[in-house]
Amino acid sequence: MRLCIVTHKIKKGDGQGRVNYEVVQEAIHRGHHLTLLASEIAPEIEQNSQVNWTKISVNRYPSEFIRNFIFAHKSSVWLQKNCAQIDLLKINGAITKGTADVNAVHFVHSSWLRSPVHISRIRSDAYGLYQWLYTALNARWEKQAFQRAKVVVAVSEKVAKELVNIGVPRDRIRVIVNGVDLQEFTPGVASRQKLGLPENVYLGLFAGDIRTPRKNLDSILHALVQVPDLHLAVVGSTDGSPFPQLAANLGVSGRVHFVGYRRDVAEIMRAVDLFVFPSRYEACTLVLLEALASGLPVITATATGGAELVTPECGIVLPDSDDVDALATALSSLVSDRALMQQMGQAARAVAEQYSWSKMAQTYMDLFEELQKNEEHSSHPDLSPSSGSISLPFGTASTN
- Residue 97 in this model has a pLDDT that exceeds 90: no
Please tell me the total number of residues recorded for the chain in this structure. Answer: 400
pLDDT band at 98 (very low <50, low <70, confident <90, very high): confident
208-236 per-position pLDDT tens digit = 999 999 999 999 999 999 999 999 999 99
pLDDT band at 374 (very low <50, low <70, confident <90, very high): confident
Q: Which CATH architecture has domain 2-179+356-383?
A: 3-Layer(aba) Sandwich (3.40)
Q: What are phi and psi of 366, to 5 degrees?
A: -60, -40
Q: String of b and e for 75-86 (b: at least 16 CB within 10 Å)? A: bbebbeeebeeb
Average of per-residue pLDDT across 30-59: 96
pLDDT given at position 1:
93
Half-sphere exposure of 255 (CA within 13 A, CB side): 22
Q: Is the dihedral of CA 291, 295, 300, 304 positive or negative?
A: positive
How far, in Å, CA of 274 to CA of 288, rounded?
Answer: 11
How far, in Å, CA of 79 to CA of 396, rounded?
Answer: 17
CATH 3.40.50.2000 domain extents, the chain: 2-179+356-383, 192-352
**SS3 category, 62:** coil
- Residue 179 in this model has a pLDDT that exceeds 80: yes
- The closest of 311, 287, 315 to 206, measured between CA atoms, is 287
- Residue 379 in this model has a pLDDT that exceeds 60: no
The CATH code belonging to domain 192-352 is 3.40.50.2000
Average of per-residue pLDDT across 122-126: 92
- Residue 203 in this model has a pLDDT that exceeds 90: yes
- Residue 297 in this model has a pLDDT that exceeds 70: yes
Half-sphere exposure of 223 (CA within 13 A, CB side): 26
142-178 per-position pLDDT tens digit = 999 999 999 999 999 999 999 999 999 999 999 999 9
207 touches 278 (CB < 8 A): no
pLDDT band at 377 (very low <50, low <70, confident <90, very high): very low
Average of per-residue pLDDT across 56-70: 88
